[in-house]
Structure formats: C-alpha cells, structure tokens
C-alpha cells in the first residue's frame, strides 16, 4: 500500500508533461543525429548544452521558492518544477554528449556530478514521500526532532522511578537489558524499511521476561514495556527525521560543485 502511494505522482499532469517533453527531446536527438554528424560543439548538440545549462541555472533558484516575488506562485509548484526540470536537465546533458562517454576529465566530472545530483534529488523525493507515510502508519507517538533527547530523558526518569523497589530479577533485567538503550536516542536505518518490525524486535526481551518474572512484578514490567515502546517510537522519529535532514548534505554541495564546473565548462567553450 505504502509503495503505491510513494510511486504515485502528486501531480500526474506534471509527470505526463515531463514524459512528453522527454520524448520530444529524444526524437529531436534521433532526427538530428540521422541528418548530421552529432557534435556537442555545434548545431543541435550545442543547443542541448545551452538547454541543460539553462535548466541547471533554474534549479539553483530553488531556495527562492519562499520569496514573495516567486514567479511560479506556490512553493509546491516550485518543488514540482525543480524535480521534473532537473530530470530533463540530466537528459539534455546526455543528449548534448550524444549519449557517448566523455573523453576529458572535466567532461567526466560534469557527467558524474549531473548523475549524482539528479539521483540524490530523486532519492530525496522518495524519502519525503516515504518517511511521513511510515511515521503515520506505524507509530502512535509524535515528536519534533529537536525535542526528542529531552523527551528520552523524561522517559528514563520515569522508568527509574517505576523500577525502584523491584525484585532482584526485574531489577537486573532493567539494569542490564533496558536501561543502557533507554538512556539515549538510538537511531537505526532499520526504521526506514519497517518501523513496526523494528519495534517488535526490540520488545521481544520483554515477552521473554514475562515467563520468568514474579506475578507480583508483572504489572511493573508491563508498565516498563509501555515506557520502552514510547522510547522506541521516539528512536524511529529521531532516525527518520534525521535521515531527511542529512539527505541535503548529499544533494546540495554536489549541486553547487556541479554549477561551478559548469561555469568553467562554458567559459572554456567561449574562450577556445
């Protein structure tokens, strides 16, 4: 269910328009390559280079989506244009080179950075659709990323109070198996694929403990499991919200480097 939601475009009309534009670019390349020897330095090859440059420049205007003077209207429209035009920019780069591997170091750098920037951007789109769905589907606790360490500290204090006066078996279980992981946020990539499965695995020691604990302590262990369940859900929020924040480190710096090398590439073409 979640896979179908993530793969479904938010604006199907924009996806169809991008697909049609891609088809037009490919047809133009096929027709041009059939009519003349293809070269990135002249004719249609050069035109596709200019097109890719213009699209990449537009992509770098994305931070201005929050400006009151934005020409595309809403921030959502900017985001849609950023995603689809960025993909078209990569296609224009490939067509510019005639779908051939580059020869020089600068050409390789531009190609690889274009591929990485586009791929990391599409991964970001997937994460921004997948993670909110995962959090809504599998968790009951909601928390802001910045407040999670403080909330975890409150849970530790609550658990310490609860387990004060527990019998030896319950106290040893708490001290050795629960307290070490309860004391701090524990991010894990496992939450990205299946939040509920990761939670269930973490609660398995409590289920085993229920077979050995004194009946008088069972209520205390159940309350401790409730606290620990809330802690695991905070860990899931900390993990998934953290992934969303760190993803930008993979995308934005390489995009800036790409634009710098693109400026060098254009200057070299104009100069020589």
Residue 26 · residue 17 · CB < 8 Å: no
Q: What is the pLDDT of residues 119-151, one digit of tens each?
A: 999 999 999 988 888 888 778 888 999 999 999
- How many other C-beta atoms lie within 10 A of the C-beta of residue 154? 11
Of 71-75, 91-95, 149-153, minimum mean pLDDT range: 71-75
Q: What is the pLDDT of residues 248-265, one digit of tens each?
A: 999 999 999 999 999 999
The two counts, helices (H) then strands (E), for the chain are 11, 0
Cα–Cα distance, 1 to 136 (Å, whole number): 13
Cα–Cα distance, 98 to 42 (Å, whole number): 12
Reading the block at residue 240, the tokens are: 């998934």
Residue 33 · residue 98 · CB < 8 Å: yes
- Percent of the chain whose predicted confidence (pLDDT) is above 70: 94
């Amino acid at each position: 269910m979640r896979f179908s939601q993530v793969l479904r475009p938010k604006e199907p009309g924009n996806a169809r328009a991008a697909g049609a534009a891609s088809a037009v670019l490919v047809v133009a390349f096929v027709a041009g390559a059939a009519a003349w020897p293809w070269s990135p330095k002249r004719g249609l090859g050069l035109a596709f280079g200019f097109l890719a440059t213009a699209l990449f420049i537009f992509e770098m205007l994305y931070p201005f989506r929050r400006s009151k003077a934005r020409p595309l209207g809403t921030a959502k429209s900017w985001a849609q244009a950023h995603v689809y035009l960025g993909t078209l920019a990569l296609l224009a780069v490939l067509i510019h080179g005639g779908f051939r591997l580059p020869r020089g170091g600068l050409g390789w750098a531009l190609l690889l950075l274009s591929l990485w920037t586009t791929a990391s951007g599409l991964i970001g789109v997937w994460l921004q659709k997948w993670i909110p769905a995962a959090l809504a589907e599998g968790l009951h606790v909601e928390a802001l990323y910045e407040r999670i360490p403080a909330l975890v500290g409150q849970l530790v204090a609550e658990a310490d109070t609860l387990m004060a006066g527990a019998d030896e078996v319950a106290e040893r279980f708490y001290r050795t198996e629960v307290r070490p992981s309860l004391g701090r946020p524990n991010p894990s990539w496992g939450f990205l694929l299946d939040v509920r499965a990761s939670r269930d695995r973490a609660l398995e020691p409590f289920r085993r403990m229920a077979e050995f604990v004194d009946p008088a302590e069972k209520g205390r262990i159940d309350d401790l499991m409730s606290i620990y369940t809330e802690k695991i859900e905070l860990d899931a929020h900390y993990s998934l919200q953290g992934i969303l924040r760190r993803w930008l480190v993979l995308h934005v710096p390489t995009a800036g480097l790409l634009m710098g090398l693109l400026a060098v590439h254009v200057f070299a073409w104009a100069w020589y």
